[in-house]
Structure 1
Amino acid sequence: MFSIPQTSGVYILVFHLAKATSISFDRKGTRHTFPPGWYLYVGSACGVGGLSRRLERHRSRIADGKNMHWNVDYFREHALLCEIWYSETDDSRFEHYWAQTVADLKGATVPAPKFGASDCKADCPSHFFHLPGCPSTAVFRSQLSSRGHSTAVSVEFIAEPRGKRSAPGLQCQYLLGRRFLEHRNLAIRDGNLEPDEWTSLAEHRRARLLAESVAKEMKVSFPKLKEAIKFATAVETLIENCGESAWSVIFDHNRPQARKAIMRLSRTSDVRQCHRVKGVIEGLFRSIAPHSDDTVFDTVKYGEVTSRLARARGSLEELRKKLKKTRQGGLLQEAQKLSRLCRLSAQRLDMCLRNRIAPASAVPCYLGKETIMRIVKTKTVKGKVIGLARAALRLIVKNVWDFGEMMRRGLVPTEQQLYDTLRDIKQIQETVEID
């Protein structure tokens, strides 16, 4: 259903051209051969009828009685209009802002100079761009955000591309899930329910009914769409936090990423997401999957602190039992060294929580990231027993490393969480007193 508002706004027409086509695109007969691929035309609608009237015109062809006027009218006769992106605004400068943003997308080129920009006061080279791959609204929104512009971009789906190979598996799954996400955005915009009420896919919920409608429209089963929605949400989270580079890494045909790795990374902090994506781009990592050696900030909610401490306490309790049965001097010595660091880490966390000390003084050098990682990677003593101590130390000191950034982001504990944390710290200190 075509539900574009009658207000003023800016828009992008997303076309697909199946094969190279020679097109005469003005009344003078100016001809140009356009290569196959995707095309984005940026325009604005500030007259009577606003976006609705202008975009309804762009949907039509000569056969519908349309009079040819703009360059894009001629191109429309040969290309398939697949999507319309739009935003309501009275600011005519947004057409220029959007054109600049599209021009900066990876792979964007100008197929014909001044196409759609003959009256541009900013002297843009074009408002019409070619992309070799399918454009992403998530990437476009991310680019707008980085420029300080509104990312309230709505999407109307018009037609499915024809005459081309299907997208690779993961990208195809993303595009399927994205269709639901964009329909949901429109429902949230036009409805009176809060966005949180559109998250659950449980039976009889609004989001579930919408998903079932989309599944029927796309001729797929609901379980298949549900998995695609989870994946698309993960991809858009990574793009929102890491920008266009996340898209390039996730859908790199030469070095494809695993779905499981993408899902796992999307559930970590934005800092860790950028760390892994940047690492893959720079050749430091093969996969974007989170790794135990990542020492960057990685706490998205305070509950993770109590979870880490509980796991650390369990490891230390098991370690203590096993040490009672061993007489290996080297193992005992290494275990005592690691246990002492666990105790110091727990004491430091206790101090942070009680005093809310400044981040600069939260981590002393002997608990610094480089020092601790060098210790836990030492291979002079090996085995499952010492592995328990190393795992516990990582879990405890991670909370100390993240504490300053947690406070900056407002990730503070509730009364119950603070009580549980201090209790676990005390139990850890009691457990590691084995010197």
Structure 2
Amino acid sequence: MKSPSATLLAEVRTFRQNHPEVRYVDLIALDIPGHFYGKRYPVEMLEKIAAGSPLKLPQNAVLLGAQGGLFKIGDYCFNDGDPDANRRLVPGTLKPVSWESQPLGQMLITSDGTEAPIEFEPREVLTRVLERLHHKGIHPVVAFELEFYLFDKKLDNGLPQFPRDPLSDDVDDQPNLHIERLSHFSDVLDDMAQTAKAQGIDITVITAEIGPGQFEINFGHCDDGLRAADWAALFCRSTRGVALKHGYRASFMAKPYLQFPGSGMHVHVSLYDGAGNNVLAAHQQQPLRHAVAGCLELLPHCMPIFSPNHNAFRRLGGTVNAATRASWGFEDRDACVRIPESDPRNLRIEHRLASADANPYLVLAAILAGLEHGLETRQEPIAPLNEDRSSGTDFPVDMLDAVRAMQHQSVVRDKLGAEFVDVYCENKRQDHLAFQQEISAREYRWFL
């Protein structure tokens, strides 16, 4: 068996042979708000890193706010000397970038698996949760679904405009689910799908959603939770790039239009034991009920993860299939936790609450923590919506309330890491306060 460095070195050399035109490679990782940060390296330097040379980036790059600025969080950022931290290359993620004007490559990097992982790095948080489950003999299989909007490339005084139908040159301003919209926008959608596949992402179903210019992409079920989250993160990056190339903007913003449905991140999760048996289906599906109860108990305390910004809270209780309370149900899209109809082998939950612009590593970590908690405590869930349409428990619908609910919840701190919870909550609190530091035109209209 090859050593990790030998495998990486072979990957880099193969890439250089197949793409001799590429001179630079972006080494990228996801920060807390879900944006990529990193550095652009000459491809020959990448070969040295793959062979074992150190790869270091500032530790505090993970702490960037939504607009890229740094906040004082404990001793981080301003009292710690801004130290570097080791990163490593993620095998299998070195791929060509086709949406830039010049030939380029990209590759994921992470601190997990290094001698001193960054406790609050999103990928490391998910890694710890997955490792704990694996030690218990539980192996998740995961599939993400992401909704997004297409807009015209040009903004109108900073506001988004509906995309133009390339066949008729009319604006796509009508909410509908017509499959013809897939044909009308086939050039850009096909490019998005093919580009994603070139990144190693298993793209499956493409759907025209209800909102004007809104679509959904489904990914294949993956038995590696980290890879499944990698796919979701990389898809957002490539989709935005491909859209610009075709004269559009693509956005995973949670609620771009108040009058139309928001965009969600739906996550399907099933759990298997070492023999390949579906854990949730055992004992007349009693573990499924326990897992649902755990998810619903922790859900109100993980709202800053599922709704990571001011706009994401606007999506809750919206026009279509967006819950206002923590609930569950069989084949019920109004529920936060839906149980799709399936055979026992494929029995799973579909977690539907997170917004499309949430951090996929953290969303999956929070969902798995809830499932784990439920299997441990073996509680019975509240009644499903199929039995009681008013069933459900309240969750915070404001960022500051959500942060307070998350920061001191003992199970969340234990499952996701106390250091991460403190850092994440302060990051969200500071982002929310920074967002308030601007007087809008509406405020002048109301009070001037």
Range into which the TM-score falls when normalised by the shorter chain: under 0.3
Larger-gyration structure (1/2): 1
Higher relative contact order (Cα pairs below 8 Å, separated by 6+ residues): 2
The structure carrying a bigger strand percent of its residues is 2
Higher helix share: 1
TM-score (norm 2): 0.26
TM (norm. structure 1) is 0.27
